[in-house]
Copies of this chain bind each other. A is one copy, B any other.
Amino acid sequence: MAMVCLSDFEAYAKKYLPKIAWDFFAAGADDCITRDENILAYKRIHFRPRMLRDVSIMDIRTKLLGTEISFPVGIAPTGFHQLAWPDGEKSTARAAKAMNTCYITSTYSTCTLEEISAAAPGGLRWFQLYIHRNRAVSQQLVQRAEALGFQALVLTADLPYTGKRRDDVRNGFRLPPHMKLKNLEGAFEVCKISLLDPSVTWNDIHWLQSLTHLPIIIKGILTKEDAELAVRHGVQGIIVSNHGGRQLDGGPATIDALVEVVEAVQGRVEVYLDGGIRKGSDVLKALALGAKCVFIGRPALWGLAYKGEEGLQDVLRILQDEFRLSMALAGCASVSEIGQHLVQFSKL
């Protein structure tokens, strides 16, 4: 079977992963409307491609908070990579480094931050965190991440409680006994997500800033009001995200929410996006609407499920090639030429 596009990896993963793992990765909240909208929304955006521009030399590099990456696609934080591939997050780290892009490592990794760092020394990594009821746990994680060279903290804002994913309830999903949330061992019992603190507010950003010199990115913003609050509280970046449609069903597609966030932010901080990226042209649409970079969640897991590190590189390479081609066909030779003039929302 030729792996030509990301859907091929999805089909592979669906076929070969244990059902309970596939269901967990695929799950959306409730009726999965937001999960599916993340993808459908791209179909309502049309390009306005420009012709006869010199696209003989293509430059698809961009920078994340000043650090160059090979193209504007990183790895979104997702948990439990050992469910997809034995080496888990170590493979993810290696693939991201090989492709010279950013890997946002989840708190809910099945490898320790130390193992991940050792697997791909020097790779660009950000650390995703929640704020725990026991703040000492969060503090310890932040300090470990900083010491290990993670270059930013990504605070997930949309999970005061876990969304209702029906298949996980039906399957009685839990990690197999031989996998652990290794970053949290010792800190408290495994998988007790309820130990996250639902009382967290914007003021806790200040507390987090007091713990670290790392820049702070906030993930899960979907409105202009919250974007404004994020900027005012001194974050360095915003990830427009609905947690892959796994939290509040009925929330907007991220590509739709991006527009109002970008308009509110007015360039004061970098804005990123995750959710629904399946083709290089999706990346181009997100950049045209103001995202500095996008992050892929499920497609990265499909790549891991296919062939571990190598499979994830395949996924990234396909996206890279498609993105470069889309740019050229739209008349852009470098990411700096991408702008809102390239797209319009379909009336339909």
Contacts and interface: CB of A to CB of B under 8 A. Distances in A.
Interface of A: 2, 4-5, 30-31, 33, 42-57, 157-158, 160-161, 163-164, 166, 169-170, 197-202, 204-205, 218, 220-223, 225-226, 229, 247-252, 256, 279, 281, 285, 321-322, 325-326, 328-330, 341, 345, 347-348
A281 B220 contact: no
Given A55-B198, A56-B160, A248-B329, 7 more contacts: A2-B170, A4-B166, A42-B250, A54-B198, A54-B199, A161-B329, A248-B326
Given A55-B199, A197-B56, A199-B55, A330 B46 contact: no
A160 B249 contact: no
A248 B281 contact: yes
A322 to B, nearest CB: 6
A327 B225 CA distance: 18
Which label, helix, strand, loop or mixed, suits the secondary structure of the A interface? loop
A49 B197 contact: no
A48 B252 contact: yes
A108 B98 CA distance: 39
A200 B331 CA distance: 11
Nearest to A31: B279
B163 A226 contact: no
Given A51-B221, A52-B204, A198 B328 contact: yes
Contacts of A220: 51
A46 B248 contact: no
A329 to B, nearest CB: 4
A44 B248 contact: no
B281 A249 contact: yes
A166 B5 contact: yes
A250 B325 contact: no
17 contacts: A5-B30, A5-B166, A30-B281, A31-B279, A47-B251, A48-B222, A49-B158, A49-B248, A49-B251, A51-B157, A51-B158, A51-B222, A52-B226, A57-B199, A160-B328, A249-B279, A250-B281
A105 to B, nearest CB: 21
B198 A56 contact: yes
A317 to B, nearest CB: 13
Contact of A161 (B166, B202, B328): B328
B47 A248 contact: yes
B52 A200 contact: yes
Contacts of A43: 33
* Nearest 6 interchain pairs by C-beta: A56-B199, A248-B329, A51-B157, A56-B198, A54-B199, A46-B252
Contacts of A161: 55, 325, 328-329
Contacts of A4: 166, 169-170
Max chain B C-beta neighbours (<10 A), residue from A51, A158, A326: A51
